[in-house]
């Protein structure tokens, strides 16, 4: 079968690449065309557009780039029609993908949606678009099935694909990891400032501002695959290291982490790393978001747990003083042990390994 897959972010690239791997294992005649990233391309998909050219964060930023977004939408529709896929698989990225879903439905193209947009947090009215335009939805968070059921939408809960990505890894010993990456043999505090230029520009300087207060630790920045090394050099000091495209390896060896809100918060929890969730964005965008978001937390960890497992420092609260105080607390053994117990309960809620395989089997079953 011919599959056309659209993912607009690094996390979507990861999960879509694992889905492609599982689909190939079951459909020997499969061909893939995609909007995504390097990981999808490595699985044999023809890459049409890289996600680094698609990511615009926040209300104001979207408005400033509206012409580019509209051009991408038009080009995407033309490319889908030209390639006539058996199914269009959309991976999260709702601002773009929901528009494509509506268009595809009108053009008689079968639409599967893998990884639901976070409509339970805001824009809940989008559930009606999904009900109208999506043939099958595959959700990865345990509370999402109940949410959709309230609107009489039948979805498949497949479990979280991050569990697969993490379970399949072989851990390198700490000393070897340090040697391989030219790091001193000191406990690591990982800094995950995000993948977009604007969020890195905002978050990283604040994260780095506490370095002098923790001389017994080394601070290591997780470089995003979408950014060049030269971009990070504007922020790094002599006491900081940068490791590119090795976020999971870094988390495997981190004692604690400062993490920009997003999928990375859940990844950090699944690696059992104590963390502080950080977020500071455009003031106007934040106020608009605050007015419409219907959940009490910004991190997936706290949303899934339905309580504050990890500290969230948002907007004005994200400053050097608070970050220093919360990081010191995080490094205390008693606090860390309690958090790790909570992480274990969190992982039990996520459905166990095998999400990518379950999704591939369900998709092929529906297509046949």
pLDDT tens digit sequence for 205-231? 999 999 999 999 999 999 987 788 889
Per-residue confidence (pLDDT) for residue 332, from 0 to 100: 94
Per-residue confidence (pLDDT) for residue 63, from 0 to 100: 59
pLDDT tens digit sequence for 34-77? 999 999 999 999 999 998 876 655 555 555 566 777 888 999 99
94-106 helix and 126-133 helix, angle to the nearest 10 degrees: 40
Q: What are the structure tokens assigned to 160, written together? A: 């979280």
Per-residue confidence (pLDDT) for residue 211, from 0 to 100: 94
Per-residue confidence (pLDDT) for residue 52, from 0 to 100: 80
Q: What average pLDDT does this structure show over 190-200?
A: 90
Lowest mean pLDDT among 9-23, 139-153, 289-303, 336-350: 289-303
Q: Is the pLDDT of residue 82 over 90?
A: yes
User: What domains appear along the chain, each with residue ranges and CATH number?
Assistant: 2-160+352-367 (3.40.50.2000), 167-348 (3.40.50.2000)
| CB distance 58 to 281 below 8 Å | yes
Distance CA 281, CA 7 (A): 23
Distance CA 236, CA 152 (A): 51
Lowest mean pLDDT among 60-74, 87-101, 129-143: 60-74
Q: Look up the pTM and report it.
A: 0.77
Q: Is the pLDDT of residue 290 over 50?
A: no
Q: What is residue 211's three-state secondary structure?
A: helix
pLDDT tens digit sequence for 278-287? 988 655 554 4
Per-residue confidence (pLDDT) for residue 284, from 0 to 100: 52
Per-residue confidence (pLDDT) for residue 342, from 0 to 100: 94
Pick the more confident residue, 11 or 255: 255
Q: Is the pLDDT of residue 327 over 60?
A: yes
Mean pLDDT, rounded, of the chain: 89
Distance CA 35, CA 97 (A): 11
Please state, for a pLDDT cut of 90, what percent of the chain lies above it: 67
């Amino acid at each position: 079968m011919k599959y056309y897959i659209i993912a607009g972010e690094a996390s979507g690239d990861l999960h879509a690449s694992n889905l492609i791997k599982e689909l190939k294992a079951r459909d020997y005649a499969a061909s893939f065309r995609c909007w995504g990233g390097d990981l999808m391309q490595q699985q044999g998909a023809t890459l049409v557009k890289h996600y680094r050219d698609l990511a615009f964060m926040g209300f104001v930023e979207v408005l400033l780039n509206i012409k580019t977004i509209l051009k991408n939408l038009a080009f995407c529709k033309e490319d889908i029609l030209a390639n006539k896929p058996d199914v269009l698989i959309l991976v999260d990225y709702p601002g773009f993908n929901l528009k494509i879903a509506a268009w595809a439905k009108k053009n008689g193209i079968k639409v599967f949606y893998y990884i639901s947009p976070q409509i339970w947090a805001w824009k809940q009215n989008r559930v009606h678009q999904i009900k109208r335009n999506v043939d099958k939805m595959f959700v990865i968070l345990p509370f999402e099935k109940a949410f959709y059921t309230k609107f009489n939408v039948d979805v498949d809960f497949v479990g979280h694909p991050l569990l697969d990505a993490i379970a399949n890894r072989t851990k390198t010993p700490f000393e070897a990891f340090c040697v391989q990456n030219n790091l001193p043999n000191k406990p690591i505090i990982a800094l995950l400032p995000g993948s977009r230029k604007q969020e890195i520009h905002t978050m990283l300087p604040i994260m780095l501002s506490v370095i002098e207060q923790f001389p017994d630790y080394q601070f290591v920045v997780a470089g995003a695959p979408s950014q060049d090394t030269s971009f990070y050099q504007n922020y790094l000091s002599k006491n900081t290291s940068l490791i590119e495209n090795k976020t999971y390896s870094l988390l495997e060896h981190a004692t604690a982490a400062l993490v920009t809100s997003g999928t990375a918060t859940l990844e950090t929890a699944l690696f059992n790393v104590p963390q502080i969730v950080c977020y500071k964005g455009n003031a106007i965008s934040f106020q608009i978001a605050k007015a419409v978001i219907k959940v009490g937390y910004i991190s997936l960890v706290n949303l899934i747990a339905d309580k504050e497992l990890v500290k969230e420092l948002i907007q004005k609260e994200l400053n050097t003083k608070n970050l220093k105080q919360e990081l010191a607390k995080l490094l205390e053994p008693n606090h860390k042990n309690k958090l790790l117990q909570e992480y274990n309960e969190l992982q039990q809620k996520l459905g166990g390994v095998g999400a990518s395989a379950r999704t591939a089997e369900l998709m092929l079953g529906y297509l046949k």
